[in-house]
Structure 1
Amino acid sequence: MKIAVLMDDIVNINPKKDASLAMMLEATRREWEVYTFDTTDLFADEDGVYAHASQTTVADNLEHWFEKQPSQIMALSAFDVILMRKDPPFDMDYIYATYFLEQAEKQGVLVVNKSQSLRDANEKLFTLNFPHCIPKTLVSSNQAQIKTFIEAQRTAVVKPLDGMGGRDIFKFEIGDSEIDTTLKRLTNNNKRPIMVQEFLPEIVKGDKRILLIDGKPIDYALARIPAKGNFKGNLAAGALGVGQPLSRRDYWLCEQIAPTLKAKGLMFVGLDVIGDTITEINVTSPTCIRELDTQFNLNIAGVLFDAIEQKIKPRK
């Protein structure tokens, strides 16, 4: 079996926490050949779609976690599976990469997550498909409308539609001195929509990351507890990751979205839950595998690869 991982340069990852590395380690345990490449390595001509791919050997070693062979031109159709693990921003370069991967899908390659569904499921806007599961929400580029919403909620959180890791997320009350300047920048002066949600005080108990594999949740979530003086439940923003069993409400939320995830071929998804509500549905490169594996002696990548093996279609 040959698997390729479309990802940012492996030299720059944090091997202690990187979920893509966990997946490559699992592929190695199954004796699959592992290759890596980035979006800039993709190209196409009238005969097909290709990548400058490097065969990559990985190890669970914080000092020496990979070795890469010189790149070679390989048809994407040569792979049995391609994992799309490129981090946001979800920009046009990302979208172009999904078009390349879509051509591979037409030749029988399993792409995780499905290319079209990555384009369809913006991680913020996708939540609007489940209005009974989300907090009070506004998506708009109109600064006056946004300020009216913030005033009605008393406190609200604003965030761009294409970010990750807590970047450019702000908590505002009407009258805050930076609100006009920040909204002008985030909306590109009323030209770019952003998301605004009511502030959920339950964030003090953590922003729970729930991992779903082919619509079925892992039984433990990672509650990301904001650092003192911060409201962001992002590990990249200094939050502390504390594992905990899923609650009955968590399972209910997963049940609400699972049929849609399965129908869209979104095999590996990270659901963000604060209190009783879904705030984001992460489909691009969800993390937290390694933290949950460590805290609960799990092998989440193993569960994922079991599901992948069930979906690989024999090819002549």
Structure 2
Amino acid sequence: MRIGFLMDPLERVRVEHDSTFALMLECQRRGLEIRELRQDWLYFADGQTCAHMRTVEVQRKPGAHFRVVGEFDAPLSELDILLLRKDPPVDVEFVRATQLVELGPGPLLINHPGGLRAANEKLFALRFPDLVPPSLVSASITQLRAFIDAQGGDGVVKPLDGCGGQGVLRVRRGDPNLPALLEIATDSGRVPVMAQAYLPAVREGDKRIILLGGEPIGAVLRVPREGELRANFASGGIAAPTSLTARDREICRRLAPALNDLGLWFAGIDVIGGKLTEVNVTSPTCFREIQDQSGFDVAGTFVAALEARIA
């Protein structure tokens, strides 16, 4: 079986933390052929979508974590499965890549390109207004300031296409920097951002829950470091064990039909104090941290499910 990974450059992978790399290791362990692809390596010719590809061998050894054993151009139809694991931003290049791989003929695509285009990771959660904290999406600095006031003068502002906690700001009434922060976040009122009520429960942790086919299979708590708002591991968050509450399971149950309808078979949701804050579908992470904290092998479970899907 040949598994393709449409991803960021393998040279930049953080071996001890990267979930895509964990999947590559698991595929290799099972004897599957793994190929690396990149967005700018895709093209359409002679009636089919093709790509430059690298067949690689991987090992959990930082600085020497992969070896190229083959490099060539080939149609996507040579693959059995293509995992779309490119990190945000979901920009023009990202969208074009999803359109190219969808032209076919080709392999099983996970997650589905149409679903990736439809489900912005910040906005998708707003389809469930009773599950999320009070929220506003706007480029208007006047509206954003009024919203922050309505939340007791304490809120969080984040870009709609970021990842890893990049650009997330805590904004408070009375802060002399507030006008400047909102100008920076919105590019002086030209770019919409998401504003949400600040959730004090984030100090206890931001729970990442991994869903496979709409079912929760693992979770980890990401706790922000002292003096830091963000709990993302990319921003220095600390992993802690956790379990699923009845509220967590209810959130997963509510999301499952919408995710499955869009072909978003694999997702990672973020829950703070029982409130859904994000739905991650481009390249859900935290496999390693879940396994370290609970012993549950997310990568092994995922690849086993892949094999079952095309058996």
Task: Report the TM-score, using the length of structure 2 for normalisation.
Answer: 0.96
| Contact kept in structure 2, 1:156 and 1:172, CA below 8 Å | yes
Q: Which residue number in structure 1 is paired with residue 288 of structure 2? A: 290
Provide the residue aligned with 1:188 in structure 2: 187
Residue number in structure 2 paired with 1:164: 163
Bigger Cα displacement from structure 2, 174-183 vs 148-157? 174-183
TM-superposed deviation, 1:295: 2.2
- Offset at residue 46 of structure 1 (A): 4.1
Q: CA deviation at 1:231?
A: 1.4
Measured against aligned partners, the alpha-carbon deviations of 1:178-201 in whole angstroms (never above 9, x if no partner) come to 222222222222221110000000
3-state SS of 1:71 partner: strand
Question: For residues 72 and 52 of structure 1, what CA distance do their matches in structure 2 show?
Answer: 6
Alignment partner of 2:299 out of 298, 301, 305 = 301
The answer to whether the 8 Å contact 2:87/2:282 transfers is yes
CA–CA separation in structure 2 for the residues paired with 1:36 and 1:275: 38
**Which whole-Å CA distance do the structure 1 matches of 2:32 and 2:307 have between them?**
12
> Does 297-306 or 82-91 show the bigger shift?
297-306
- The answer to whether the 8 A contact 1:110-1:311 is kept is no
Q: Once the 2 structures are TM-superposed, how far is the Cα of residue 109 of structure 1 from its aligned partner?
A: 1.4
Task: Structure 1: state its 5+ residue gaps.
Answer: none
Match of 1:84 in 2: 84
Alignment-derived partner of residue 230 in structure 1: 228
Q: Which runs of 5+ in 2 are unaligned?
A: none
Distance across 2 between alignment mates of 1:152 and 1:32: 54
Q: Deviations over 1:232-265 (max 9, x none)?
A: 1111111101121111211111111011111211
* Coordinate RMSD, CA, aligned: 1.4
User: What is residue 274 of structure 2 aligned with on the other side?
Assistant: 276
C-alpha spacing 1:263/1:286, structure 2 compared with 1 (3 Å): same
Q: Distance in 1 between matches of 2:235 and 2:59?
A: 27
Q: What's the TM-score once normalised by structure 1's chain length? A: 0.94
Contact 2:49–2:106 at 8 Å: present in 1 too?
no
Give the aligned partner of residue 214 of structure 2: 215
2:118 maps to which of 117, 120, 124? 120
Write out aligned runs for 1:1-316 (5 A).
Answer: 1-104=1-104, 107-153=105-151, 154-218=153-217, 220-312=218-310
* Cα distance between partner residues in 2 of 1:260 and 1:290: 27
Partner of 1:56, secondary structure, is strand
Alpha-carbon offset, residue 59 of structure 1: 2.0
Task: Using the TM superposition, give the Cα deviation of residue 19 of structure 1 relative to its aligned residue in structure 2, in angstroms.
Answer: 0.4
CA contact (8 A) 2:3 2:32 kept: yes
The amino acid of 2:175's aligned partner reads D
Distance 2:177 2:80 in 1: 50
* Structure 1 counterpart of 2:76, one-letter code: L
> SS of the residue aligned with 1:133?
coil
Aligned residues: 310
CA contact (8 A) 1:207 1:274 kept: yes
Give the SS at the match of 1:236: helix
Offset of residue 37 of structure 1:
1.5
Identical aligned pairs, as a percentage?
39
Offset from partner CA, 1:23-82 (integer Å, 9 cap, x none): 111211221110001111111124211111000111233453211135200101111100
Write the letter of the residue equivalent to 1:49. Answer: T
Q: Give the C-alpha shift of residue 267 in structure 1.
A: 1.4
* Cα shift readout 1:58-110 (whole Å, capped 9, x = no counterpart): 12334532111352001011111001111111111111110111123xx2511
1:216-244 superposed Cα distances (whole Å, 9 cap, x missing partner): 101x4211111101111111111101121
- Per-residue CA deviations over 1:148-186 (Å, capped at 9, x if unaligned) read 000110200000000011111111112222222222222
